Structure 1
Amino acid sequence: MSAAHVRRGSSGRARPKKPGPRVSVPRKLAARLPVEEAQANRLAGWAFGLFALLTIAAALIALDVPAKVGQAAGEAVGDAGFRVRSVDVQGIKRMDPRPVYDIALDQRTMAMPLVDVADIRRRLLDYGWVKDARVSRRFPDTLVIDIVERTPAALWQDEQQLSLIDSEGVVLDRVPVSQMPDLPLLVGRGANGQAVVLDRLLSRVPTLKAQLVSASWIGQRRWDLSFQSGEVLMLPEGEQNAATALTRFAKMDKSAGLLGRGILRFDLRIPGKMTVRLPHLPGERQPSPPVSES
């Protein structure tokens, strides 16, 4: 019997395996991993502290504590000698200064840090004469108020009420009839609101503007102009139509001397035509003939 050959394996000790490649965790994935317990406790403590601070701040605001603290601090500064004791008003030439002092001194407190200069300015701007105002503190004890006045440009008569207005039609003050200044007179409801338009019209004809006595705003649509020589000039509706008619009339007056000849009325309401009304004897009927502007 032939000998059996047995094939033996290699040595029983296993060969060490080569280490596999190291896997690095991406940063985004690492950010999702749970934090350590100590770090989590710190974060929780910070969050609770922030919440507590916000809660306390909300409670203080609800109780108006910051305002009360600021008020107390301002009053303390005032008690140290920083209180309003004088008001220096500048820029006034025509208006009565008393309302300015009344507004400046009408304060909840006279402590300099607590005087509301913005509110003083706002209230001054509500006063007709005041076009602009600057209010400032001059420590230790003075308020400085610099007034920019409006300039009177005309009188406005609405029914029985007479008012002084500026070039923009802003009412400056009431005027007694006995104290009427020598200014053009605007008559009619809403006439003051058309003062700017009227000024533009008259600026085209300075020779007529110098002779103007009054301007009546008729039906809140158009102007009747009255001159020193007694004539009335009836203008059409619309600024452009009125400007055209007024410019043509000024040229005709310059060449033919229409004003001062006793004519009562010039009617320019119809474009391209002028109707005049002439004086006549008592009992005599005299029609007003149409006259071409050309």
Structure 2
Amino acid sequence: MTRLKVGLAVVAVIVLTGGGYLWLRQSSLVAVRDVQISGITASDGDQVRVALEGAAKDMTTLHVREEILHEATAAYTSVGDLKVKADFPHTLHIQVVERTPVAALTRPGERRVPVTSNGTLLRGVAAERDLPSVKLKSDPSGSRVTDRKVLNALAVASAAPTPLRGRTEEVKVDKRGVIVDLEEGPELIFGDGKDADKKWAAAARVLAEVSAQGAVYLDLRIPGRVAAGGLAPIATPTPDPNLQPEPENSPTLNP
């Protein structure tokens, strides 16, 4: 009989003994020794890992206190939730569900702060370069954005399809509402954050059309009726001196 089988037999005897389970669930026989953590990608990941490992190794696989794990990571804004599974006798699996930033708030001369679609500020987390910027005049107080105009901008940023998300440099707000600045593309006028996904789809459809090339802006405030403005004038070709004039009775195309 292997040592593991002997150990399991001893555990079974203890559990079957009156009150044995209460003793066993706190026993070193089932102490957490191996903490397997997944899902960490944010810049504060090393600190999150250390915090979770330290808290987990004070537990057993028969007495996992998830509230302690949540308390251990409360200071790290990248952590949105934890999924915990005990693997008897000594392993604890922890999946970190991170908050997903959709943009980075910026102020002149200050570092960019990642922010989620619902306005949660991920302070202490480095903003990825591909996150579009949302410029602010003043730093939000507290842990969340409450300004309705900025929340509209975040709703637009979060709905961006992957091909256009990578080209989105800045999301801003002016008297026309939410405006998106595209890299090598026209300005996109969204108005408010309502139906942002439909407005993005309309933008993608129009941008794929040859006739939209050279547009300075696309007005998406009515997704079913996109207005393209500031189209560059079409150059007039130089007449070919060798070209013969067409007969006067030749048909013409309707405008």
* Count of aligned positions: 195
Cα deviation digits, residues 74-130 of structure 1 (max 9, x gap): 4x7645533333322133345514324314524795455554134424765774433
Q: Which residue of 2 aligns with 1:91?
A: 39
Counterpart Cα distance in 1 of 2:158 and 2:189: 16
Of 38, 50, 53, the match for 1:101: 50
Q: Which residue of 1 aligns with 2:211?
A: 255
Counterpart Cα distance in 2 of 1:241 and 1:181: 23
Counterpart check, 1:195 vs 2:148:
no
Match of 2:93, SS state, is: strand
Match of 1:216, SS state, is: strand
Among the aligned pairs, what percent are the same residue?
20
8 A contact 1:120–1:135 mirrored in 2: no
Letter in 2 for 1:98: Q
8 A contact 1:125–1:131 mirrored in 2: no
- State TM-score, norm by structure 1: 0.45
Give the superposition deviation at 1:139.
Answer: 3.4
* Matches for 1:1-294 after TM superposition, within 5 Å: 73-74=22-23, 78=26, 80-94=28-42, 96-106=45-55, 110=59, 113-121=62-70, 124=73, 127-157=76-106, 160-165=110-115, 170-172=120-122, 174=124, 180-188=128-136, 190=145, 191=150, 194-200=153-159, 202-203=160-161, 211-218=167-174, 222-229=177-184, 232-237=187-192, 239=194, 247=202, 251=206, 254-259=210-215, 266=217
Counterpart Cα distance in 2 of 1:121 and 1:238: 33
Letter in 2 for 1:101: V
Match of 2:191, SS state, is: coil
Give the superposition deviation at 1:223.
Answer: 1.0
Counterpart Cα distance in 2 of 1:97 and 1:245: 36
Give the superposition deviation at 1:228.
Answer: 2.0
> Aligned Cα RMSD in Å?
4.9
In structure 1, list runs of 5 or more residues that go unmatched.
Answer: 1-69, 279-294
8 A contact 1:236–1:242 mirrored in 2: no
8 A contact 2:105–2:115 mirrored in 1: yes
Give the superposition deviation at 1:235.
Answer: 4.2
Larger relative helix fraction: 1
8 A contact 1:237–1:269 mirrored in 2: no
Letter in 2 for 1:227: L
Counterpart Cα distance in 1 of 2:187 and 2:128: 22
Give the superposition deviation at 1:215.
Answer: 0.8
Counterpart Cα distance in 1 of 2:204 and 2:59: 62
Higher relative contact order (CA 8 A, sep 6+): 2
Match of 2:112, SS state, is: strand
- State TM-score, norm by structure 2: 0.50
Give the superposition deviation at 1:230.
Answer: 7.6
In structure 2, list runs of 5 or more residues that go unmatched.
Answer: 1-18, 233-255
8 A contact 1:155–1:186 mirrored in 2: yes
Counterpart Cα distance in 2 of 1:245 and 1:130: 29
Q: Who wins on radius of gyration, i.e. which is larger?
A: 1
Match of 1:81, SS state, is: helix
